[in-house]
Amino acid sequence: MQESTQGQARNPRLAELALALGGFGIGTSEFVIMGLMNRVANDLAVTVPQVGYAISSYALGVVVGAPIIAALAARVPKRVLLIALMLVFAVGNIASALAPEFWSFVGLRFLAGLPHGAYFGVAALVAAGAVPIDQRARAISRVMLGLTMAILLGAPLGTWAGNQFGWQVAFVAVGVIALLTALMIRLFVPMQPPNTQASPKKELSALLKQRVLVTIAIACVGCGGMFSIFSYVMPTLTQQAGMSEALGPLVLVIFGIGSIIGNLAGGRMADKNLMRAIPRILIWCAVIQGLYYFAANNVWTGLVFVGLVGTSMALAPSLQTRLMDVAGDAQTMAASLNHAAFNGANALGAWLAGLAISAGLTPSSTGFVGTGLALCGLLIFVYGRRLEKRTTKAVAFENNMG
């Protein structure tokens, strides 16, 4: 096995590849159903909107699973926990493919979503712990590369295979990827001793830490703009710009390329200066998403800006690293909550974008929704920094008085 006596991976890149493969499987599972909704609806005798319940069920599993697993598994060695999470994820997806009727399918999508947030959180901690402190964000971004590659390749290939051979094939394939991930983690991720000082109470303390809550709020609000645009990108470009529906896969590919570039660039920026990277990325998101409103009037400029909107993924490694810095004894909880917050951003962005379109605004108005959310995220960041400085001054004053 690729590990040293100190618990450090002999080959960190293979360890990161194993962790990223799990992210690829999770991302594929999350996004592939959006391209298979018609097939699922036909086979399970429901309407296409009803299939949306399965998507919501998965997202609910992410939000519920992240804090509960982080608290209950506080003392479980990280490698053991990662393997267990992948096995549960494999069971959830393979069982989804075997679901006899719709509501059991919805329940099994909830089961598949439970390991999502905890897996990414623990994987980020493991990757960051295997490299020097000034390379943490880049290590996290390499693990997150699995998620962005799922947008670029996993979801489109899964959609194609599901439409050709039955939607069940896509979920079975994800289950196989999860099993392969569990094996690779066993082989290449070093065993780390359990944290005997950890406890559910300490992990839950993350929910009371001001800086943790501020960072999670930035993720939930500031990242919502990317999802507001992505959720309605196809109707925007087909109805407003006149794009052929045949170019739909190209839209996913361009967005995926943008998210990969943003993810890697965000990791590098965060390692250079984390507290400058976060506001700069939020400003970039506000500008790019606002310009999308105008670019979406033309097919080709619209496609270019779809890629630029994808670079908003730069926030992910930055916020994940920030949570590690402020979580104290609640590292697993804080890291896991980041991905629950991203799912919250997905729901918030899509909901607000739907309200804008329902109010009679053009489909590209989702860009202005994105700008508003990015700016709100920036305001939360500024407010959080002021609170932090005020608290630091108060503590210093008390120490001097003492």
CATH number of residue 300's parent domain: 1.20.1250.20
Looking at the structure, tell me whether residues 154 and 204 fall in a common domain: no
pLDDT higher than threshold 60 for residue 379: yes
Report the distance separating Cα 116 and Cα 286, nearest Å: 28
Amino acid code (one letter) for 82:
L
Confidence at 391, pLDDT banded by 50, 70, 90: confident
Mean pLDDT value across residues 216-224: 93
Q: Which of 144, 170, 196 is the last residue of a domain?
A: 196
Looking at the structure, tell me whether residues 181 and 237 fall in a common domain: no
Query: What distances in angstroms separate CA 264 from CA 141, 253, 371, one per listed residue?
Result: 6, 17, 22
Looking at the structure, tell me whether residues 227 and 122 fall in a common domain: no
Q: Which of 152, 181, 196 is the last residue of a domain?
A: 196
The candidate with the shortest Cα–Cα distance to 330, out of 143, 197, 137, is: 197
Domain count, the chain: 2
Determine contact, residues 86/178, Cβ cutoff 8 Å: yes
Report the distance separating Cα 323 and Cα 333, nearest Å: 10
Looking at the structure, tell me whether residues 205 and 284 fall in a common domain: yes
Looking at the structure, tell me whether residues 173 and 97 fall in a common domain: yes
The token duo for 41 is 């609806």
Confidence at 6, pLDDT banded by 50, 70, 90: very low
Mean pLDDT value across residues 155-164: 87
Looking at the structure, tell me whether residues 162 and 149 fall in a common domain: yes
Least confident span in 21-35, 44-58, 148-162, 289-303: 44-58
User: Highest mean pLDDT: which of 45-49, 122-126, 165-169?
Assistant: 165-169
Range of the domain at 381: 199-402
Concatenate the DSSP letters of all residues of 88-130 into one string.
HHHHHHHHHHT-SSHHHHHHHHHHHHHHHHHHHHHHHHHHHHT
Rounded (10°) CA dihedral 370, 374, 377, 378: -160
Query: What distances in angstroms separate CA 268 from CA 193, 212, 273, 316, one per listed residue?
Result: 30, 22, 9, 12
Looking at the structure, tell me whether residues 60 and 3 fall in a common domain: yes
User: Highest mean pLDDT: which of 68-72, 253-257, 267-271, 350-354?
Assistant: 267-271
Least confident span in 20-29, 64-73, 274-283, 312-321: 64-73
Looking at the structure, tell me whether residues 70 and 206 fall in a common domain: no
pLDDT at 100: 92
CA atoms within 13 A on the CB side of 219: 25
Mean pLDDT value across residues 204-212: 81
The candidate with the shortest Cα–Cα distance to 306, out of 372, 257, 245, is: 257
Percentage of the chain surpassing pLDDT 90? 48
Confidence at 4, pLDDT banded by 50, 70, 90: very low
Looking at the structure, tell me whether residues 313 and 398 fall in a common domain: yes
Looking at the structure, tell me whether residues 310 and 330 fall in a common domain: yes
For the entire predicted model, the pTM comes to 0.81
Q: Which of 157, 175, 196 is the last residue of a domain?
A: 196
Report the distance separating Cα 91 and Cα 115, nearest Å: 11
Looking at the structure, tell me whether residues 29 and 124 fall in a common domain: yes
Looking at the structure, tell me whether residues 20 and 90 fall in a common domain: yes
Concatenate the DSSP letters of all residues of 330-379 into one string.
-HHHHHHHHHHHHHHHHHHHHHHHHHHHHTT--GGGHHHHHHHHHHHHHH
